[in-house]
A and B are shown apart, each in its own frame.
Chain A
Amino acid sequence: MKNTQKPAAVEKKKFTFNNTMGILLVIIVFSLLIWTRSKEFISVDNFITVMRNCSVTILVGFGQMVVMAGGGLNVSIGSIGGLAAVIVGAMIQRVGLPWELAIVIALLIGACCGAFNGILITSLGSTSEISWLVTLASMSIFAGITLTITKANPFYNLPKGYTWIGTYNIFGFLPFMIIVTLVVAVLLWYMFKYMSLGQQILAIGANQRAAALSGINVQRVIIIKHILSAVIAACAGILFSTRLGSIHSDIGGDWMLFSFAAPLIGGSRMEGGRVNIVGAFLGGLLLAMVSNAVVHLKVNVYIVEFLEGVIILLAVGLDRIRGLREEHRERMERARI
């Protein structure tokens, strides 16, 4: 009996919710379900809308995933995104710089925000708890800077070239925005799979002590991963504003939940050490589709947040339950020796 049970458990593992195939299946089933209620859900127009929405959601998820991979978290992602967008607005309208240069400066300032987080975290002890506390504080600091710059007034009348990024569709159906996200995805995939830096981040997430013993400069890698995370967050903030045509100071205010949800649904390990880029991509897509579907079903918009909460609980809960079950199985196996 015992022998026949074991391979079954292995088989089952291949088709859990956290698997890339699993999310893809969920996405397809979900689309078809909504389609039966609202035919417009599967249409070119709605495809464009969902792609634009998800391109930002996915980037935000990537920003979190990079930090999570090395064992830690970054709750200041939303504030960094908001600050970067506002910097672009201020550079264009108050300083009079061309928008291309404004974007570069905003990304650089994003990198500074990340370095600020990373340096503080490593000098205070490099633990996951510290990263939470530091970024919680810096979230407020960055948001404060944003409000000081804008005094809560939006920037309107952005240059055509700038808004082109958020509105142009390749061949009339593929938003340019999603290309930006795809490029970031490919770069991240390459980094985690084929670059020493990616492996070092994952090693720290898997076992920080062993990583240090293996000669990894843990502090430096943690700082770099926070810079990466912040640049991706800044990128997301800027991308979001290109689409809106105006830059508000509240960009990024509601990003925290899905920054965690996208990678976790996608099968990244919460404690670090394992990432799934395709999974996070699909996770972000699923989240964007849920908010979109709510509009199509004409249900109360306020339920979106509720649903997102349920989804993240399901994803994390399933993952934890499996983890606990495995732990239990391991203990029982040891007990049998």
Chain B
Amino acid sequence: MSKTVLELRNITKIFPGVKALDNVDFVVKEGEIHALMGENGAGKSTLIKIITGVHKQNEGKMFVNGKEVSFNSPRDAFNAGINVVHQERNLFPTFTVAGNIMIEHYTDKMIKKINQREINRAAEKYIEMVGLNVPPDKSVESLSAGQQQLIEIAKALSSNAKIILLDEPTSSISVNEAEMLLNLIKKLRDQGISFIFVSHKIEEVLGLADTVTVLRDGKNVRSADGEISSPIKDMTREELITRMVGRTKEFQSLEMRDFDKSDVVLEAKELRSVDSPKPKSFKLRKGELLGWYGLVGAGRTEFARAIIGYDPILGGELYINGQKVKEKGIDRIQNKHKIYYLSENRKEEGLFLDHNIKSNITSSVLKKMRGFLFFLSPKKEQETAEMFRKELQIKTPSLKQYVRNLSGGNQQKVALSKGLAVDPDILIIDEPTVGIDVKTKAEIHRIMYDITEKGKSVICITSDMPELVQIADRIIVFRDGRIAGELINDKDYDHMSKEIMNLIMA
């Protein structure tokens, strides 16, 4: 029996309004590949952030090699031998390969002579360990994404990391590189290094990992005999999916509707753009609430941005109300075809936090707010803003309130008002309820439903599966930048969630 290198006991983490982790246990043994799995929002990222010192748990204890530890910064975790390789690269682009791998060796003192030749020689050992074939004095900028990732692992090895956390390591690299990486991970495991492996690719997990811990709704999903983790070898794909999805609490679904005979308002034919390069086709019907599901990074936002004209189109065709979209530029397409996109990132891309509610709502329709001599008419602004405050029930003492001071839910309502003010026929809403409490969430679902009842069409991009099954009429599942499949939503959660998971994990 190999010894335990990392142990987390009864970890609870509370964010304002949400219990992200509830009494979670997590144990990693020496020399194993331990997969951490769960749906979006199951608490994986929070757990990772606690292990790597980004967040601190509210309750519970953490042990490394049997000693209790308390991390106040990512650096503390690093010093304890825990290294992370993130999805996005974390290198020094202007440095050489050796400079990146060996940087730890000259960060302790300021005045220390650096022997480039020695560093290059030392780095060669780690470059070889990760199976790369690049000269140590090559600039990392010129390497491929996969090679850069291997450099990060080499860097971790050079700093004597005992636990390496890999967050979706194969998501941004080519198939060959992914295969090399997985072989390398196995090789290093046999040398006694432990890996925490976070991946949504179920085949990869089944083929690579030794053990799996599953989280759901911020809690451990225990095996039949009450263990927190299970060996992968007696697991099937079906079992793993069932564990991840499970049964969720009761929830109210919106009414079922049928759109087979409605007009098509938007149609993409083999549409591809710079950031969404794989061709995709789909149809959106009048009055429909279409859900786009996929893992974070599956290319949903990128595709939406191609549709609204933010990202240059490389090929394919887009029709709105039967007319081919020829215009370029977000403003022209928005004006002519009455399509509006609401960003997932409302604080940075959706709202003017330091402006008041009124000017936020009217900011998208300033032309309509003009009165005498083209000056803005305070009266019109007031009326418009007041109308939306009533309609969407924005809770605020005054329309002069700064948006920064509103709760997340009310901020989202302001963002929605801003979109609705332009009176669009098609509304694309990206992650409408992230960070919003349950009650307001239901209100926002109702608002979206009401919009579609008025004959407008809505595309709702969401990573929240219960929400998706609850509100969508039809579901499109994205995987790796492609459309993996399309489902008519029968609003039966058990059935739908398995169908969706099958498409995601294929």
A binding-site residues for B, Cβ under 8 Å: 193-197, 199-200, 202-203, 205-207, 209-216, 220-221, 224, 269, 273-274, 331-332, 334-337
Interface of chain A, main secondary structure: helix
Contact A194 B104 (CB under 8 A): no
Known: A193-B114, A202-B92, A332-B274. 13 other contacts (CB 8 A): A195-B114, A196-B110, A200-B107, A200-B110, A202-B94, A206-B93, A209-B90, A212-B75, A213-B78, A213-B90, A215-B108, A216-B107, A336-B277
Judge whether B116 is part of the interface by a CB distance below 8 angstroms: yes
Contact A197 B277 (CB under 8 A): no
Nearest Cβ in chain A — how far from B275, in angstroms?
A: 7
By a CB distance below 8 angstroms, the chain B residues around A194 are 113-116
By a CB distance below 8 angstroms, the chain B residues around A202 are 92, 94-95
Contact B113 A199 (CB under 8 A): no
* CA gap between A146 and B304 in the complex, in Å: 58
Contact B75 A215 (CB under 8 A): yes
Using C-beta atoms within 8 Å of the partner chain, give the interface range for chain B: 20 to 34
Report if A210-B92 is in contact (Cβ < 8 Å); known contacts: A203-B103, A335-B274, A337-B174: yes
* CA gap between A221 and B112 in the complex, in Å: 14
Contact B106 A199 (CB under 8 A): yes
Contact A206 B92 (CB under 8 A): yes
Identify the closest chain B residue to A273 (Cβ): B94
Nearest Cβ in chain A — how far from B406, in angstroms?
A: 26
By a CB distance below 8 angstroms, the chain A residues around B115 are 194
Contact B314 A193 (CB under 8 A): no
Report if A224-B110 is in contact (Cβ < 8 Å); known contacts: A199-B99, A202-B94, A213-B78: yes
Report if A199-B93 is in contact (Cβ < 8 Å); known contacts: A214-B107, A215-B107, A335-B314: no
Number of residue pairs spanning A and B whose beta carbons lie under 8 angstroms apart: 83
Contact B106 A207 (CB under 8 A): no
Contact B92 A273 (CB under 8 A): yes
Interface of chain B, main secondary structure: loop
Cross-chain contact of B104 among A197, A205, A215, A269 (Cβ < 8 A):
A215
Contact B112 A214 (CB under 8 A): no
Identify the closest chain B residue to A335 (Cβ): B277
By a CB distance below 8 angstroms, the chain A residues around B90 are 207, 209-210, 213
Contact B110 A197 (CB under 8 A): yes
Judge whether B408 is part of the interface by a CB distance below 8 angstroms: no
Nearest Cβ in chain A — how far from B210, in angstroms?
A: 28
Nearest Cβ in chain A — how far from B126, in angstroms?
A: 15
Q: Top 9 A-B pairs ranked by shortest CB distance?
A: A335-B277, A196-B106, A273-B94, A206-B92, A196-B112, A215-B107, A274-B94, A197-B110, A216-B107
By a CB distance below 8 angstroms, the chain A residues around B104 are 214-215
Report if A195-B113 is in contact (Cβ < 8 Å); known contacts: A203-B92, A213-B75, A215-B78: yes
Contact B94 A197 (CB under 8 A): no
By a CB distance below 8 angstroms, the chain A residues around B116 are 193-194
Contact B93 A273 (CB under 8 A): yes
* CA gap between A274 and B96 in the complex, in Å: 11
Judge whether B91 is part of the interface by a CB distance below 8 angstroms: yes
By a CB distance below 8 angstroms, the chain A residues around B109 are 196
By a CB distance below 8 angstroms, the chain B residues around A211 are 92
Contact B110 A199 (CB under 8 A): no
Nearest Cβ in chain A — how far from B148, in angstroms?
A: 12
Judge whether B111 is part of the interface by a CB distance below 8 angstroms: yes
* CA gap between A75 and B376 in the complex, in Å: 40
Judge whether B74 is part of the interface by a CB distance below 8 angstroms: yes
* CA gap between A193 and B106 in the complex, in Å: 12
* CA gap between A202 and B96 in the complex, in Å: 12
Cross-chain contact of A334 among B78, B112, B272, B277 (Cβ < 8 A):
B277
By a CB distance below 8 angstroms, the chain A residues around B111 are 195-197
Identify the closest chain A residue to B273 (Cβ): A335
Identify the closest chain B residue to A201 (Cβ): B110
* CA gap between A332 and B94 in the complex, in Å: 22
Nearest Cβ in chain A — how far from B468, in angstroms?
A: 28
Contact A214 B103 (CB under 8 A): yes
- Most A CB within 10 A of own CB, among B93, B94, B108, B116: B94
By a CB distance below 8 angstroms, the chain B residues around A209 are 90
* CA gap between A199 and B114 in the complex, in Å: 9
Cross-chain contact of B91 among A197, A205, A207, A331 (Cβ < 8 A):
A207
Q: Can you give 27 A-B contacts (C-beta < 8 A)?
A: A193-B114, A193-B116, A194-B116, A195-B114, A196-B107, A196-B111, A196-B114, A197-B110, A199-B103, A199-B114, A203-B92, A206-B92, A207-B91, A210-B92, A213-B78, A214-B103, A215-B107, A216-B107, A269-B94, A273-B93, A273-B95, A331-B274, A332-B274, A334-B277, A335-B275, A335-B277, A337-B174
